[in-house]
Amino acid sequence: MTTRPLRRLAGAATLALLPLALGGSFAPPAYVAAAVADPNRPAADVARDAARKPVAMLALAEVRPGETVVDWTPGGGYFTRLFSGAVGPQGKVYAVTPGTFQRRHPPKGPPVSTEPGHGNVREIVSENDTALPLSAPADLVWTAQNYHDIHVFFGGAEGAAAFDRAAFAALRPGGRLVIVDHAGAAHLDEAGMTALHRIDEALVIKEVTAAGFVLDGESQALRNSADDHSLAVFDPKIRGETDQFALRFRKP
């Protein structure tokens, strides 16, 4: 893997980091490779691997065996299953779904925790949509393609601040918050977020670092320079191929 300097940001130090393109001769840890190659993964999940880049994303998240992971708004459980396999039987995965989402999008099948090999998963429906109700500190809080929805459904900037504070409180010192989302134009406003389901990367960094986090890693694996950020993410012309940023923050 190659390295490059982290861009200078207000409130964040300039660090060296890995962009995690994960090309060339990079070999993922055995436990990550095993989680991705698990023959019990649903065919629908495997079919999405080319677009979602699971090896690159788990590397960015620095997930390790035995850790406690929070997958916030897990949807169909794509990353929940991967985290479950990566942390192993000594680890835990909390799949936390906001109550509002649960009512808007009821589960289409049985919970991941009932599937073979995923007994370390616990599903939680949080009636406080931006809360992370855990009984012990986590090592990783993860959310993919959902942070913009906090602005859209859960109170705009105030809701985002509440979620960021909840993530900070849920993590042990040194723990990570990873946010993957559809990139929006610079200074995209709340109306634009609602219409396009995108968010300005710079706004995410500003909000999350305001909660006390430090930005210390990012991946370029999901970037798509052909996406000009003008279309809604559900538009058939771009769906499944949006330009996405992937950021790792750390709790000091």
Number of domain units in the chain: 1
139-174: pLDDT as tens digits: 999 999 999 999 999 999 999 999 999 999 999 999
CATH label of the domain that carries residue 194: 3.40.50.150
The answer for residues whose C-beta is within 8 angstroms of residue 144's C-beta and 6 or more apart is 52, 57, 79, 180, 181
- Residue where the block lists tokens 């779904």: 97
Residue 129's domain spans which residues?
4-250
Flag whether pLDDT at 184 surpasses 50.
Answer: yes
Query: Is residue 33 helix, strand or coil?
Result: helix
30-67: pLDDT as tens digits: 999 999 999 999 999 999 999 999 999 999 999 999 99
Give the integer Cα–Cα distance in Å for 43 and 87: 22
* Mean of pLDDT values over 8-27: 38
Percent of the chain whose predicted confidence (pLDDT) is above 70: 90
Mean of all residue pLDDT scores within the chain: 89
Name the pTM for this structure. Answer: 0.90
Query: Largest Cα–Cα distance in the chain?
Result: 46
Q: Are 184 and 191 in contact (CB under 8 A)?
A: no
